[in-house]
Amino acid sequence: MASTTDQYGTAVFSYQPTDVTIQRTGTVTWTNATGVGHSVTFTAVNGAPAEIPVPATGPNARPFNVAGEFLYHCTVHGNMTGRVVVQ
């Protein structure tokens, strides 16, 4: 997760990278070093891993054992979205 500021000096949070492709049985780790609580909440589909709830700080990993596309977002900051593609 990353934090930048817009032209008005307002913090803008995002997942970096927003999209990642991994092999089935792989693991993705989200690391929050922003000092602000974030979540990783997956769209409910078969094989989606458990949510990483607020306040998610430090590293949080989730395994992906099912091939597919898994969309996720932050429940605190609606503009934070991402995608994991599992092959």
What residues does 42 pair with on adjacent strands? 72
Of 66, 42, 64, the C-alpha closest to 52 is 42
Residue 79: band (very low, low, confident or very high) from pLDDT cuts 50, 70, 90? confident
Looking at residue 4, its pLDDT comes to 59
Compute CA 68 distance to the chain's CA centroid, rounded to the nearest angstrom: 16
Domains with residue ranges and CATH for the chain: 2-86 (2.60.40.420)
Compute CA 7 distance to the chain's CA centroid, rounded to the nearest angstrom: 25
Query: Is the backbone peptide bond immediately before 17 cis, with ω within 30 degrees of 0?
Result: yes
Residue 1 has pLDDT above 80, yes or no: no
Cβ atoms 36, 62 nearer than 8 A: no
Looking at residue 82, its pLDDT comes to 96
What residues does 69 pair with on adjacent strands? 85
Looking at residue 13, its pLDDT comes to 83
pTM for this predicted structure: 0.86
Listed ranges 3-7, 30-34, 71-75; the one with the highest mean pLDDT: 71-75
Q: Tell me the per-residue pLDDT of 22-66, one tens digit each, with 9 for 90 and over.
A: 999 999 999 988 888 889 999 999 999 999 998 767 899 999 999
Of 46, 37, 26, 27, the C-alpha closest to 1 is 37
